[in-house]
Amino acid sequence: MLTPKQQELLSFIQTRLEEGGVSPSFEEMKDALDLRSKSGIHRLINALEERGFIRRLPNRARALEVLKLPDAMHRAPAPAVPTPKVSAPAVLLPTAANDVIEIPLHGRIAAGVPIEAMESHTMLSVPAALLGSGDHYALEVSGDSMMEAGILDGDFALIQRTDVAREGQIVVALIDDAEATLKYFRREGSRVRLDPANAAYEPQIYDPRQVRIQGKLAGLLRRYN
């Protein structure tokens, strides 16, 4: 059995998910339950999670999923007279949408000449709507050779991990297992050509054995400050 506050919080989360598909923030939950601090919300969330009523979605901020509701919150009353049994359709509880996912930020990548792509343990928060299926990571763009494709110095390139690419896709290409660059992928006879999107730069042409595809561009993030 849930305490009144636990039930009140569960009801608030459920209502917000039904209305907009996004779970409320801890600040919103604190205000809704008229609590003085968010620590009380953390305790209530932990209690609901331990009892199997909710779960937190991994790698996402403020993303909660309602797994079940207590009997007291189900609105369907018992019939007053016997009625034939009819199997009720399964009710799909709403899950958080349009939320934020944290993906690894692996240093800076050249959009001009190739530079070494440095690994790091930094994470970048990205709107889930910008990413499709698959595994993703982010790289900070350095240089202006992709500016005509709308990719500017200081942008964050959101990359879907893959080791194959189609003609004309913008890819992260690792050259000689040491340096990485962001370019259009094309084939020129038996060679691989990495094309910039800036007339001031020349295409880079390599033997296929020199180039390994590390991912393809899935989206961009830009800061204005």
Domain range annotation of the chain: 4-73, 100-221
Token pair 């690994």: residue: 119
Say if CB 16 and CB 23 are below 8 A apart: yes
DSSP 115-175: B------EEEEEEGGG--SS-EEEEEEESSTTGGGT--TT-EEEEE--S---TT-EEEEEE
Task: Tell me the C-alpha distance between 130 and 127, whole Å.
Answer: 6
Q: Which amino acid is at 211?
A: V
Query: Which tokens sit at 80?
Result: 């007053």
pLDDT for position 90: 47
Question: Is pTM, for the whole model, over 0.85?
Answer: no
- Give the catalytic positions in this structure: 145, 183
How high is the pLDDT of residue 125?
A: 85
The domain 4-73 having CATH identifier 1.10.3720.10: the answer here is: no
- 77's tokens: 């009353």
Q: Which CATH class is domain 100-221?
A: mainly beta
d(CA 49, CA 65): 10
pLDDT digits (tens, 9 = 90+) for 161-214: 999 999 999 999 999 888 889 999 999 999 999 999 999 999 999 999 999 999
Residue partners of 208: CB distance under 8 A and separation at least 6: 190, 191, 192
Strands 60-61 and 100-110: antiparallel
The whole-chain average pLDDT of the chain stands at 80
Confidence of residue 88 (pLDDT cuts 50, 70, 90): very low
Residue 100: band (very low, low, confident or very high) from pLDDT cuts 50, 70, 90 = confident
- Asked if 4-73 and 100-221 have one fold, the answer is no
The structure tokens listed for 144 are 């202006």
The pLDDT, as a whole number, for residue 2 is 80
